[in-house]
Structure 1
Amino acid sequence: MQLLLVEDDATMQATLQRSLTRRGMAVTAMADGRAALAEWRTRPPDAVVLDLTLPGLDGLQVLAQARAGGLRTPVLLLTARGTVGDRVLGLNAGADDYLPKPFDLDELEARLRALVRRSGDGFDGRSASSAHTLGAISYEKESEAIYLHGAPMDLTPREQALMRALLAQPGRAVPKERLYELVFPGQSEVQYEAIEVVVYRLRKKLAGTGVALMTLRGLGYLLKAEA
């Protein structure tokens, strides 16, 4: 699942990004409403977790402008405001669900996955079946499981994160910078070149699968079915 997290509390943002990434989601975290709206328009995610109190534009303004611009991504409002009036305002502005703070991470994950299932969209935001196949590899969007010849593929968490990012856009290059953010979320101490190590190891595991992990100089990496 490609998730856009919009939360201006640095501690809360870091905690949610780390926790949801561990649960198999690719999380893009933003703290400013205006910047988040621009990111949403540029790279529509599968779901948005949106705080109401934000700098730039507040959550309701972000949501209203997104809906007015035709963005139909499922939205879960996440806020400290707990009154019925705030819930009504958010739902009337186009939110799909509402979860007041404090909350349970299991409930947040369950609500997000339910929203994406109800939206009827695939992992890349396009209408699709429940699974995607590339060579001998298949990817189940709902469970985010990756299989090789029908058996679970032996991948480390970082290799899984890399595969999911590339399978979301098969045949299209994903920038190295974007992959670094998804594979090493919030880990600024990790050297930028570390993504190349993960690519190298994953490329070896893909040998003989009918899928090639290609490097496009200046553009990034992509997965492509071999002829």
Structure 2
Amino acid sequence: MGKYSLKYGKGQNPLYAQVKEIILKNIKDGIYIEKIPTERELEELFGVSRMTIRLAVDELVKEGYLLRERAKGTRILNRKISENINSLRNFSSEMKSKNIEYEIHKIEMTIIKADSTIAEALEIEENTNVYSLTRVYYTEGEPFCLIISYLPSELNLSVDESVYKKSLYDYLEREKGVIVTKSYEDIEVGFADDLVSKELKINIEDAVLFRTRKSFDQDNHHVEYTLSYYKPGKYKYSLVLTK
């Protein structure tokens, strides 16, 4: 008897199809992160034959969810990272809550002059000094997110880029006493320019998920104006609407 109960008998879906759906659900729910269990482990979990397991996995390979790698096992492909937008969370917390491993491959912290768009978003004068923090996030060896944050110079932030290897919000709260309590976000389809194309390794004019965020602290002061670009097929947003 395996861990998962399958339905036997007339009128039920074939066993391999039931196994396939359970594996796929575990992928989407984040139970399987980078790889699925071995065939032997799946046999024990489902209490079915090796042939049934292979048929189920073959279907998922054909549909683009899995990739067989010789001597390495079966890897999960293009798992979309889902973010719940019903609550205010920083990027690091969202990834941690879903057990998603990521790396920051690029961090750039500079001071620039605010253009008209940045100035309007932060409600400051144009050409005022602001911090510009650029980060590129990778998962499964591929870039999936480019985040550019603009922050007021009054925050007196560190220009040591190693500081931003972890959560920006945690740093602000721990070192500056600034707690982000509110943000306004817009989400839309955007198109890759030269920078986005280069950092996400996609073609210029490819569609991307584009998010802007304006955040405020406990005193209702501007904290950040952030532009986020997500690689196609690697990210989705989820929300719950109630009446």
Q: Hey, which of these two has a bigger chunk of helix by percent?
A: 1
Q: TM-score, normalised by structure 1?
A: 0.26
Q: TM-score, normalised by structure 2?
A: 0.25
Q: Hey, which of these two has a bigger chunk of strand by percent?
A: 2
